[in-house]
Structure 1
Amino acid sequence: MPVSPPPLVYRSSGRRLYVRRSGSGPPLLLIHGLSGSRHWWRYNLPALEARHTVYVVELVGYGRGWGQRSLGVREAARLIGDWLQAQDMQQVAVIGHSMGGHIALRLAELEQARLSRLVLACASGLLHQRWWRMALRLPGAVVTGRPGFLPVILADSLRAGLPNLIRSSRDLLRDDVADLLPTLHLPTLVIWGERDVLVPLPLGRALAQGIPGAEFLSVPGAGHVVMVDRPATFNRAVLDFLDPQAAAS
């Protein structure tokens, strides 16, 4: 069995951003959501790596970045943007899930010229409520999701720690992207689980409507972690969007 290479580590102002690279082809950056890690893309990587050089970020305070104080969505976007600049990466497609989609939007605000396409999966950014109200929805999100994925969610949440989860939740709920959306001029796919109780489907439609020319796709039977709940549908839709010429042929 081939041994996966160690993650790249980008250090800035005492923070460590972990990035794992795999595959070959045009660059594709994956950003996980609240309490997530690289493991949340386990059902997607084989399909994505076949066509792209995939960079999987593990945010400060999460995954391999555990033990650090988590960053707000804008701070996280700046750190990722600094890493893109340091690598002089161009024409990067970005997929962000939940809080990761929120961060992807803020990254696009900073580095739109470096990006090629944007995929927003059940992204926060238009969610307005108290953090504890969102926490009350978590059991429902678990019930509507893939049962076998629950151990990964619990393990990653425990590793991140309650202070980081609360800090990140409060920050993302304070950051509204409504004014940013009309300024985005990137081909964008907004993809949502129809059963998402954490960031409900109408918010996905509103997000897509706010971005000029954005496409919207709802996935039947999927909850908040859409790329885990319905990976085949997610992978096919994302690859068709990222590689329209290949899809047409």
Structure 2
Amino acid sequence: MTTAQYPPEYVPFEDVCRSLPTPRQVQVSDSVELETLHLTGPDPAIVFVHGGLGSLWNPYPQLAAFEGERELVAYSLAGNGNSTVRPTQSLAGHVSDLRQLLDELQIERPIVHGHSYGTAVAIEYAKRHPTAGVILHAGGDHDLTPAWEKPLLRLFLALRLYRIPVTDALIRQLAYTVGFHEETSRAVVEDFLQSNPLPHRRSAWTTVTDAFWGYDGRSDIDQLGMPTLVIHGPADGIVPVEVARDTANRIPGSVFCRLEGAGHVAMIERPAAYNTLIRALITAIRENRDLETAVFSSLDG
């Protein structure tokens, strides 16, 4: 690994996979089993919720950085990865799955980290269940669907293009175009895409169309009274930075963090800065400190 290829605190995906145990199936209801990676460690646990067409491995630099430092959970949403398919796709159903998963793992008050469409799950979970803190990255409480996405996904579903390997090249080009900052190295982009292969299961695509399209959680977003970080890369071509900033403005006591030099996956593009922000949130929670003060103190350090 060379510094020219990778940013500070970056750990290549294959190295993370080799160092961590194989995910296992956890039964959360009569009909749903979730592919889950669970690493033991101190409270509060950090639970990672991936976005649409995503993977439980997407936060691989954070899984490496916080292994042993915190209890960690990453899982595949029902219908994604090796998780079973929900009888009906809905946001409420995915929130219920998460609650049942954490009950099975005996985790009571986690930090819930949502990425992209996963921010909807994080927000709705935190409205309804005890939560120590929330991290919203590359998403927010509304307008999570870019204009080009609906016609593209409808085409893929109608023609079953998700079954054709050649379409992987189209998604790869789309990722380069709208997903990353222009200065993010090709090695990092390719590594992330390896962690996030194009799903060839129809259920992964309908998770997006049936559970997340049209999400709007603004009406009761002020129910989030726990420490909340809203992190966004200004080069994000999927969810505009204004959506994240507006979301932060509606959450009492939240802190909006704009990470320069990053796009839709700042956790991959700038892991050192990203991990610093997570640790600031943990400090604020454990020491009952003001989150904004903890964030600025960590950045000054």
For the aligned pair, the TM-score class normalised by the smaller chain equals 0.7 to 0.9
Q: 1:184 to 1:146 in 2, by over 3 A?
A: farther
What are the equivalent positions in structure 2 for 1:1-249 lying under 5 Å apart?
4=21, 6-26=23-43, 27-65=45-83, 68=85, 71-111=89-129, 114-127=130-143, 131-132=149-150, 138-139=174-175, 140-142=177-179, 144=181, 147-148=186-187, 149-150=189-190, 152-153=192-193, 156-161=196-201, 164-169=204-209, 171-244=211-284, 245=287
Coordinate RMSD, CA, aligned: 3.0
Q: Is the 8 A contact 1:10 1:18 kept in 2?
A: no
Q: 1:132 to 1:146 in 2, by over 3 A?
A: farther
Measure, in 1, the Cα distance between the counterparts of 2:20 and 2:94: 29
Q: Is the 8 A contact 1:142 1:150 kept in 2?
A: no
Structure 1 position 243, deviation (Å): 2.2
Q: 1:163 to 1:58 in 2, by over 3 A?
A: closer
> Which letter does structure 2 place at the counterpart of 1:54?
L
Q: Percent identity?
A: 22
User: After superposition, what is the alpha-carbon deviation per residue over 1:77-125, rounded to whole angstroms, capped at 9, x for unaligned?
Assistant: 11111222344422211111111111111111221xx210111111243
Structure 1 position 45, deviation (Å): 1.2
Structure 1 position 161, deviation (Å): 3.4
Measure, in 2, the Cα distance between the counterparts of 1:14 and 1:178: 31
Unaligned runs of 5+ in 1: none
Q: 1:84 to 1:39 in 2, by over 3 A?
A: closer
State the partner residue of 2:3: none
> Which letter does structure 1 place at the counterpart of 2:120?
H
> Which letter does structure 2 place at the counterpart of 1:106?
E
Structure 1 position 64, deviation (Å): 2.5
Shifted more, 215-224 versus 86-95: the winner is 86-95
TM-score scaled by structure 2? 0.71
Q: 1:234 to 1:3 in 2, by over 3 A?
A: closer
TM-score scaled by structure 1? 0.85
**Paired residue total:** 246
The answer to which structure has the higher strand fraction is 1
Measure, in 1, the Cα distance between the counterparts of 2:56 and 2:90: 19
User: After superposition, what is the alpha-carbon deviation per residue over 1:151-196, rounded to whole angstroms, capped at 9, x for unaligned?
Assistant: 6537745335355325414531212011121111111010111111
Shifted more, 120-129 versus 24-33: the winner is 120-129
> Which letter does structure 2 place at the counterpart of 1:7?
R
Query: Which of 1 and 2 has greater Rg?
Result: 2
Structure 1 position 31, deviation (Å): 0.9
